Structure 1
Amino acid sequence: MEKMKENKIELLLRKLTNFTACTIFLSFGTGCVLQSSGDLRYYESFFRHENQNTPIQYGKVRVTFLGTTSILIDDGETQILTDGFFTRPSLWKTAFSKIESDQEIIQSVLDKAKIHRLKGIFVCHSHYDHVMDAPFVAKATNAKLYGSSSTINVGIGAGLNKENLELFQVGKPVKLGKFSITVLESKHTPPFRIFGKTNATDPNFPNILSPLSQPVKAMDYIEGGTFDFLIQHGKHKILIKSSTNFITGAFDQINVDVLFLGIAQLSLQPVSFQETYYNQTVQKLKPSLVVPIHWDNFFLPLAKPLEPNLKLGDDFESNMNILLQRTSKDQIQVQLLQGFESIDLF
């Protein structure tokens, strides 16, 4: 009996110790790694804070930023969208439970952004923060979902009709109204590890091989290849690069007017990577305007003002400072957009 009593006391002490350790860890996390990795007030001069409510002039192209890498492009006749990730489940839900699209949130974004002439949704890769909502946006708007085989399986799992699904054909332009969209092969941001877990693709399971139906764990959304989008409208060109990585020489024969550039985790890479990334994107493409994307904390709702990524896995201020040092030297304009903010490009 005495032995059993000692064992119970020891077990209780162990539980209390573990609880205390968890409490200290969470307190540290809340005070540090779960804070924003930047203060947007330092970059206020790079925001125009314009909300375009006037009709789009004939021949003009308007873009609206909808967080992460979701970009609405509109010429007044045709709308196209990248990714369309609007649900943005919380960090805790994403980490510790299954996630699913929120139809009410999706519809509220469609209404607020006036997405009612959408013809195509182009998904850059099949992680949840890019593809999760895309099939439901396609359903709500009767737009076609374009993507890799992994994205197609997410669409099928969501019950999307085959007529509204189209597999990427790299290098072959897709004509939608006056837009021409060319899909280019790219690479995902280099893998990272947090709390012993990594987002690196398992080489034995590089794709989503069967229809994926929600709710599922975030890790069930496998990358399935990463892609950039070259969008031409008349004589003007836009390139959307959602992930912070490059294929050497991919843009040797391409110049654009505007570059939407993924900057997530740029400063966490070696200096040699940072320099090559800039050289292979901004310097090759020679844009007059660079718009940073994939900088915001996508665990927070789109209905509130966007905040920079968490310190847990990023450093927004260092990312921006790297970009601004180089673009300032090259006399290239940089502009940031808040959620639902629009600019007329041409």
Structure 2
Amino acid sequence: MRLLRTTLIVLTCAALIAVGALAFLLQTHPDFLPMERPAQPKGNAVRMLFLGTSSMAWTDGKSTWLVDGFFSRHAVGNVLLSRLNVQEDRVLEVANEIFRRLEMPAALSGIVVAHSHYDHSMDAPFLARQFGGRVYGSQSTWQIAKGQNLPAMQMEVMQQGGVASLGQFDVKLVLSAHAPTGFTGGFNSQPVRLPAHALSFKEGLSYSFVVSHPAVGPAPFALIQPSAGFVAGQNKGLTVNTVFLGTGGLGKLDEQYIADYWQEMVVSTRAKKVYLIHWDDFTQALLEQGKPVALKPMPRLLDDFPRSFELLKMFSKRDDVDLQVLDGWEMVCF
């Protein structure tokens, strides 16, 4: 009995040490500061406000829509040790700040969801219930919406892609791929009831978003690639000026993959401007005491953003592309 008790104590201590070490590594960030740029004029018709990971708010002064809208951004300890729920007060604080900065009424025309991992999908049903609009995504995202009792009329399943009409914006959902990390794959076949563990949110299908608006011209002008994955040839025939390029986990992949990713997303689309997104640690809050918080890169355990940034910078110089890193609450005007 004494041996069993001693063994259990040793195993418990080892487990606690392992969890503590993991938590420490997940809070160790590489040094990186995005370059400061002057604020862009608000007079432009089409504007995008970046909100960390691949979350964005888009407006043309008449309607507002979101990509993902993940604002809970749970602390790493909660992600590791507990089940997650929408942090409603935090989400509402961020949403109200978005509408204030965009000088728009507190209403949404819709939310497009990149894939069904919690850091993309979890807050979308809550935001749709609060501010209106439909949630557009895969069947796996629909299971998350059902788990939060979002009315069926506020969810549109775009299993094979399609076009979401959001005011005067047309947003085409294109089947793509998640970055090839250890967190890919799986489908939500039953409603995901909250609170739920982070691993309960299966990827489902992953999408790219192609954005069009008549104020910018008759053709698509922007491609949003939320995750650092791709399907070869997915952008065949597409030409855009601007790419919002997800980099999460990219720094842990080999150089040839990164080169192929750049080729598919940037070179093949003839883009001239690239903004890097989903580079930040999404366990850090966007606001603290009502003030914006500068984003930090993903922890070294999950990514090596300085490495991928240097490679992408090399490709951008070679191909004469303007490469920039977006910080939280930064606005891009078209």
Instruction: After TM superposition, give the deviation of residue 169 of structure 1 in Å.
Output: 5.6
1:88 deviates by: 0.8
1:37 corresponds to 2:30: yes
Matched, 1:50 2:39: yes
TM-score (norm 1): 0.86
Aligned to 1:15: 9
- The Cα RMSD (Å) is 2.3
Matched ranges for 1:223-242 at <5 A: 223-234=203-214, 235=217, 236-242=220-226
Aligned to 1:321: 310
Q: For residues 308 and 141 of structure 1, what CA distance do their matches in structure 2 show?
A: 30
- Unmatched segments (≥5 aa) in structure 1: 193-198
Task: Map 1:259-338; keep pairs closer than 5 Å.
Answer: 259-303=243-287, 304-338=293-327
State the number of aligned residues.
320
Choose which of 119, 122, 127 in structure 1 pairs with 2:117.
127
- Once the 2 structures are TM-superposed, how far is the Cα of residue 258 of structure 1 from its aligned partner? 1.0
Indicate the percent of aligned positions where both proteins have the same amino acid.
29
Q: Answer yes or no: is the 8 Å Cα contact 2:162–2:174 preserved in 1.
A: no
Q: CA 1:273/1:26 → structure 2, altered by over 3 Å: closer, same or farther?
A: same
Q: 1:24 to 1:325 in 2, by over 3 A?
A: same
Give yes or no for the alignment of 1:162 onto 2:146.
no
Provide structure 2 residue ranges, at least 5 long, that are not aligned to the other structure.
Answer: 288-292
Are 1:80 and 2:80 matched, yes or no?
no
**Where does residue 243 of structure 1 map in the other structure?**
227
Could you say if the C-alpha distance between residues 28 and 141 of structure 1 is closer, same or farther in structure 2, counting changes exceeding 3 Å? closer
Q: Which has the larger radius of gyration?
A: 1
**AA matched with 1:319:** S
CA contact (8 A) 2:247 2:276 kept: yes
The residue matched to 2:268 in structure 1 has which SS? helix
Distance in 2 (CA, whole Å) between partners of 1:23 and 1:174 is 48
Q: Name the structure 1 match of 2:127.
A: 137
Name the CA shift for 1:127/1:11 in 2 (closer, same or farther; >3 Å).
same
The 1:49/1:117 distance shift into structure 2, 3 A limit, reads farther
1:24 to partner: Cα distance: 8.2
SS in 2 for 1:180: strand
The two structures have a TM-score, normalised by structure 2, of 0.89
**Residues 253-276 of structure 1, C-alpha deviations (whole Å, 9 max, x = no match):** 001111000111212112221111
Q: Quote how far apart the aligned CAs of 1:295 are.
A: 0.4
Residue identity in the other structure for 2:201: Y
Offset at residue 172 of structure 1 (A): 3.2
Go from structure 1 to structure 2 and tell me whether the alpha carbon gap of 1:104 and 1:34 turns closer, same or farther (over 3 Å shift): closer
Post-superposition shift, 1:246? 1.0
SS at match of 1:118: coil
Q: CA deviation at 1:153?
A: 1.4
Q: Distance in 2 between matches of 1:250 and 1:17?
A: 49
Query: Which of 58, 61, 67 is the equivalent residue of 2:46?
Result: 61
Distance 1:252 1:28 in 2: 41
Q: Report the 3-state secondary structure (helix = DSSP H, G, I; strand = E; otherwise coil) of the residue aligned with 1:73.
A: strand
Q: Residues 109-128 of structure 1: matches in 2 within 5 Å?
A: 109-114=94-99, 116-128=106-118
Partner of 2:290: none
User: 4+ residue stretches of structure 1 with deviation over 3 A?
Assistant: 10-29, 169-172
